[in-house]
């Protein structure tokens, strides 16, 4: 019986150290797995945020392009009006009040038609922009 007690006394600390060592090794392996999974998840999240940022920048660029197109349209419309009035005022008959009034009236009556053609041109440009947006959406999704 003394032998069993002596062996147990000697083996007990060795067993405790072995059990502690095994626990540390197992815990380290689990921690490594968790860290690797966290790194992978973080990498995916960073890429997702980058992609979202690219999409937001693309949307902002498209919005700016639309504003540019709209202002180009308005500038073209204003230039058309300005040149038409300038042509009337610079014509040889501009000094005849009746002729000038008639020419201005005809010019004003022609405005809806001129605007129609400008709007049609603008719509074509917007359709092109829309198609590019649809193509970009297909590439993403």
pLDDT at 84 over 80: yes
- pLDDT given at position 45: 92
Q: Tell me what percent of the residues of the chain surpass a pLDDT of 90.
A: 2
Q: What is the mean pLDDT of the chain?
A: 84
- pLDDT given at position 141: 64
pLDDT digits (tens, 9 = 90+) for 30-83: 888 888 889 999 999 998 888 888 888 888 888 888 888 888 888 888 898 888
Q: What is the distance between the alpha carbons of residues 38 and 32, in angstroms, rounded to a whole number? A: 10
**How is the chain split into domains, by residue range?**
2-140
Judge contact between 88 and 103, C-beta under 8 A. yes
pLDDT at 106 over 80: yes
Helix (H, G, I), strand (E, B) or coil at 96: coil
């Amino acid at each position: 019986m003394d032998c069993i007690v002596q062996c147990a006394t000697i083996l007990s600390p060795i067993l405790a150290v072995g059990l502690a060592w095994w626990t540390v090794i197992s815990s380290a392996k689990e921690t490594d797995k968790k860290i690797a999974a966290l790194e992978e998840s973080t990498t995916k999240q960073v890429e997702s945020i980058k992609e979202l940022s690219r999409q937001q920048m693309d949307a902002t660029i498209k919005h700016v392009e639309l504003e540019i197109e709209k202002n180009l349209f308005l500038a073209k419309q204003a230039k058309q009006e300005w040149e038409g009035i300038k042509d009337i005022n610079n014509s040889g008959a501009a000094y005849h009040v009746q002729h000038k009034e008639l020419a201005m009236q005809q010019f004003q009556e022609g405005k809806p038609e001129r605007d129609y053609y400008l709007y049609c041109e603008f719509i074509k440009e917007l359709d092109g922009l829309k198609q590019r947006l649809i193509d970009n959406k297909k590439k993403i999704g």
